[in-house]
Amino acid sequence: MLNLSCGGEGNDFFEVAYDVPEKGRIVEATVTRVKNGIVANYPDPYMRRRDPEAVLIADNQPTDKARFSERFGKDFESVSKKHLNG
């Protein structure tokens, strides 16, 4: 899945772009391989708006966002890659 997201094995960056008649090439998103997976960035401000339900906070610092532990009933550390790999 990571390789497909970045446009193939060995790629760390991929542009999701389309040729639009009378407008040219439009970049919808860029996909970058990062330490713990991939990240997608959207250059259009409208596309960068986040669904408030999509963000979960893993730590216990003060926040106005929902916490992973509240939604799933366990600490994030129990499922994090760092924890699983020792």
For residues 41 and 63, state if they share a domain.
no
Q: Is the dihedral of CA 80, 81, 84, 85 positive or negative?
A: negative
For residues 4 and 20, state if they share a domain.
yes
Q: What are the tens digits of pLDDT across the range 34-72?
A: 887 889 999 888 777 777 777 888 888 898 888 989 999
pLDDT at 73: 93
pLDDT at 84: 55
Quote the number of domains for the chain.
2
For residues 66 and 30, state if they share a domain.
no
Q: Which domain holds residue 6?
A: 1-46
Give the end-to-end CA distance of the chain in Å, rounded to a whole number: 24
For residues 75 and 54, state if they share a domain.
yes
> With a threshold of 0.75, does the pTM exceed it?
no
For residues 3 and 42, state if they share a domain.
yes
Q: What are the tens digits of pLDDT across the range 72-86?
A: 999 888 877 665 555
Walk across the sheet containing 13-20 and list its strands.
13-20, 24-34, 37-41
For residues 36 and 57, state if they share a domain.
no
For residues 37 and 2, state if they share a domain.
yes
For residues 2 and 14, state if they share a domain.
yes
